[in-house]
Amino acid sequence: MMKYRQLGHTGLNLSVLGMGGAGFGNVYGNHLEEEATKAVHHSLRRGVNYFDTAYWYGQGKSEQFLGRALENVSRDKFYIGTKVGRYERDVANMFDFSAKKVIESAKDSLDRLQMNYVDILQVHDVEFAPSIDILVNETLPALEEVRRSGLCHFIGITGYSLSTLQDVILRSKVKIDSVLTYCRLTLNDSTLLKSLEFFHDMGVPIINASPLSMGLLSPRGIQSWHPASQEIKQACKYAVAYCRKQDVDITKLALKYSSTTCEQVVTTLVSMNDIAMVDENIGAVAQPLTSKEEEVQEYIYKTYFEQLKQPHWEGIEEKNYWSALRAES
């Protein structure tokens, strides 16, 4: 049975497993729309009630797909969040945190989703803003304007850099209702745990994404664009291979860890493009690990992950982005 947790003061009672929209934008490979639509409807029947998307996921494809898939679903049966700030694949047009673009993007997202409002409108990957000043003085006030107009009900921020997320929360004059962080509460990187006290004290609930570390903890293989170091990738490859040899599903271990480690995480997002994936992921969250699965999880952690000198790749993507942007200037 699906469990639910309240997103802070918002009153939104989110399913502990949410559906991430990156897969609908073909971020992890192509998907069949008919099968994915069935997955959306099946997930709703199984109790999943939160969908998270962004223009960045396929340059609007994910939003458009969810708009079609949810078109005939009563609006009171689900919650949805999307994002502003991150847009095109080319470096020069990848980010725009200006107030004008925020308002324009919010309206365009609603058109693609075929909805009158989204529950949560989030600033996408705040660490890529030219400065926190822009976020505090322009981006977030523009989101507040969007909220007051009724196009969104709550405001969130997202990102990989935990330190930047904290800085934005400390400096923001606009109430931040949620923080979405990804790949920071996983078997190979649990550094989010060190920030739980801060988010609790600031009254900002956590949405957790990418329990599989953007594919690192999956037998499907690692995408060529993945920013992790070779040390991290190698450790994850060894862990995946060991689980396969032991006939244990590493994705189940990873999802179970990310979704049940702490109550402060309201929902954990994962892409689910077909019905079988929905059932497998819900089962992974709901069912306890067997004694063998617990032994394998402990083994891969101690053997491959505990020894990592640095379990995250914070700062690497920003450095590459600014270098590429300077090269184009």
| CA-wise closest residue to 155 among 236, 82, 93 | 82
Catalytic site includes residue 57: yes
CA 302-281-286 angle, 5° bins: 80
Q: Which pairs count as long-range contacts for 280-284, CB under 8 Å and 24+ apart, including other chains? A: 280/249, 280/251, 280/252, 281/17, 281/251, 281/255, 282/2, 282/17, 282/43, 282/46, 282/47, 282/48, 283/252, 284/249, 284/251, 284/252, 284/255, 284/256
Q: Is 4 helix (H, G, I), strand (E, B) or coil?
A: strand
How many CB atoms are closer than 10 A to CB 223? 13
Q: Cα(38)–Cα(48) distance, rounded to whole angstroms?
A: 13
Q: In terms of DSSP H, where are the helices of the chain? A: 33-45, 61-69, 99-113, 132-134, 140-148, 162-171, 196-201, 230-245, 250-260, 275-286, 291-300, 316-328
Q: Please tell me which residue in 50, 55, 57, 79 is annotated as part of the active site.
A: 57
CB 213 within 8 A of CB 236: yes
Q: In terms of DSSP H, where are the helices of 211-249? A: 230-245
In eight-state DSSP terms, residue 130 is S
CB-facing half-sphere around the CA of 45: CA atoms within 13 A = 9
Which residues are annotated as catalytic? 57
